[in-house]
């Protein structure tokens, strides 16, 4: 999320400073390198030792080291950072920042910084709505500083209102969104998901272990980027969170084919995540089959290959993404599906990888394109992986436009 980003955390003297320990921890966990600058007063609320241990860097607070006389360079620090987060930002610190009152290292660093600056205000509700404080916040905003808005709730004074510092998770999320802005995808997307059930009789079916988690996660990530998504879904227990996603429920491969074929001509992108049964009973019984014989033979007929059939109709401007679930000769098998089903790229998951494939909350894949370029993605949650897949799709689609 924040891999390799260099972040200065400025801590000013308010009770919310105790949350700075969690904030440092989360920033480091997100991959950032963190250096902490504290106002002298902030040290009353949290110790430099805690923060230096968590950040793995010395904490700066004074203009110079008293024993050696060495200068703590606010200029170097200001130039080093990719972002400067001041959390908590007290009324005092914001006033000093707005009016260049450079009487501590945090403010001199702020005035020297060339990177984006984020203030996370924290104070009591009456202070927070005071015209002087509001004016300073507006002044800071008008100069391009970012304000991570305070939250409403119980305050240290015992009063209830707006003034609580944003939670550390929210601050990290704000930084992450700043550094990784979401791509936009103005596209109509058809996505198949889940298993298909092929009826043997009114009670039994041939199915598989697909839960729909991978497909639904991709649908959510696509919708987040602005795409208009229709899922043609086999029987699953997962549901969509984003109500803009349209879901068409089907059971069999034939029904999935018919529903998809109606949508495909008007879509820009098709994503085939479904685990479609390749065969179905040729003569499903109308009544429940009774147990009588020692064995039962089922005649199976081939189902339509949805991706391959629609691949034949694909225009030059449409993009088609397939999935391959393999157990052997994985890369070769996946590559041959790219050409046989006219995919632009294929996402390969292997049942040989622990935590990958059916039913799990995680997956580990290789994305292979038409030119045989392979992108390896390590084991991660299906939600995170969905975002990676959608990033690749956005880049491809937006480049082609």
Q: Give the nearest distance from C-beta 308 to ligand PMT in angstroms.
A: 7
**CB-nearer residue toward ligand PMT: 235 or 284:** 235
**CB-nearer residue toward ligand PMT: 74 or 341:** 341
**CB-nearer residue toward ligand PMT: 293 or 332:** 332
Beta-strand relationship, 319-326 and 279-281: unpaired
Q: Give the nearest distance from C-beta 349 to ligand PMT in angstroms.
A: 5
CA–CA separation, 191 vs 229, rounded Å? 7
CA–CA separation, 127 vs 140, rounded Å? 17
Binding site for ligand PMT (CB under 6 A): 192, 210-215, 253, 272-276, 278, 303, 305-307, 322-325, 337, 341, 349, 357-359
Cis peptide bond N-terminal to 88, omega within 30? yes
Q: Give the nearest distance from C-beta 394 to ligand PMT in angstroms.
A: 20
352 contacts: CB under 8 Å, gap ≥ 6: 327, 330
Long-range pairs of 364-367 with CB within 8 A, sequence gap ≥ 24 = 365/389, 366/331, 366/334, 367/392
Q: Give the nearest distance from C-beta 283 to ligand PMT in angstroms.
A: 20
Radius of gyration over alpha carbons of the chain, in Å?
Answer: 28
**CB-nearer residue toward ligand PMT: 121 or 212:** 212
**CB-nearer residue toward ligand PMT: 53 or 327:** 327
Beta-strand relationship, 117-121 and 246-249: unpaired
Is the distance from CB of 229 to CB of 241 less than 8 angstroms? no
**CB-nearer residue toward ligand PMT: 258 or 305:** 305
Q: Give the nearest distance from C-beta 271 to ligand PMT in angstroms.
A: 8
Q: Give the nearest distance from C-beta 262 to ligand PMT in angstroms.
A: 15
CA–CA separation, 15 vs 329, rounded Å? 59
Backbone phi, then psi, for 50, in 5-degree steps? -60, -45
The 3-state secondary structure of 267-331 reads CCEEEECCECCCEEECCCCCCCCCCCCCCCCCCEEECCCHHHHHHHHCCCCCEEEEEEEECCCHH
Q: Give the nearest distance from C-beta 347 to ligand PMT in angstroms.
A: 7
161 contacts: CB under 8 Å, gap ≥ 6: 125, 128, 152, 155
**CB-nearer residue toward ligand PMT: 32 or 276:** 276
Q: Which residues are catalytic?
A: 208
Pull the structure tokens for residue 227.
């795409």
CA–CA separation, 74 vs 250, rounded Å? 63
């Amino acid at each position: 999320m924040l891999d390799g980003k260099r972040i200065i955390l400025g801590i000013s003297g308010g009770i919310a400073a105790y949350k700075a320990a969690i904030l440092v921890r989360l920033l480091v966990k997100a991959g950032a390198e963190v250096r902490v600058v504290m106002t002298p007063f902030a040290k009353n609320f949290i110790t430099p030792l805690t923060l230096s241990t968590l950040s793995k860097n010395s904490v700066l607070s004074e203009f110079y080291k008293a024993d050696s006389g060495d200068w703590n360079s606010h200029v170097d620090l200001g130039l080093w950072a990719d972002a400067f987060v001041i959390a908590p930002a007290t009324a005092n610190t914001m006033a000093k920042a707005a009016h260049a009152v450079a009487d501590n290292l945090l403010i001199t660093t702020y005035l020297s910084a060339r990177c984006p600056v984020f203030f996370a205000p924290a104070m009591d509700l009456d202070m927070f709505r005071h015209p002087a404080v509001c004016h300073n916040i507006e002044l800071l905003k008008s100069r391009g500083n970012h304000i991570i808005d305070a939250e409403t709730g119980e305050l240290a004074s015992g009063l209830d209102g707006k003034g609580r510092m944003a939670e550390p998770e929210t601050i990290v999320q704000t930084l992450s969104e700043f550094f990784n802005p979401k791509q936009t995808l103005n596209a109509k997307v058809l996505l198949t998901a889940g298993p298909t059930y092929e009826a043997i009789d009114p009670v039994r079916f041939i199915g598989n272990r697909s839960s729909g988690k991978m497909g639904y996660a991709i649908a959510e990530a696509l919708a987040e980027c602005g795409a208009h998504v229709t899922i043609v879904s086999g029987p699953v227990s997962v549901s969509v969170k984003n109500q803009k996603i349209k879901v068409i429920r089907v059971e069999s491969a034939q029904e999935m084919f018919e529903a998809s074929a109606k949508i495909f001509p008007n879509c820009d992108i098709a994503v085939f995540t479904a685990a479609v049964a390749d065969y179905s009973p040729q003569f499903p019984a109308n009544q429940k089959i009774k147990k009588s014989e020692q064995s039962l033979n089922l005649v199976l007929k081939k189902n339509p290959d949805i991706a391959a059939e629609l691949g034949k109709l694909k225009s030059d401007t449409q993009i088609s993404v397939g999935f391959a679930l393999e157990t052997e000769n994985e890369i070769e098998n996946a590559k041959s599906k790219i050409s046989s089903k006219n995919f632009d790229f294929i996402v390969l998951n292997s049942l040989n990888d622990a935590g990958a494939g059916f039913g799990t909350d995680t997956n580990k894949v290789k994305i292979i394109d038409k030119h045989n370029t392979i992108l390896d993605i390590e084991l991660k949650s299906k939600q995170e992986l969905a975002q990676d897949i959608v990033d690749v799709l956005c880049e491809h689609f937006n480049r082609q436009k």
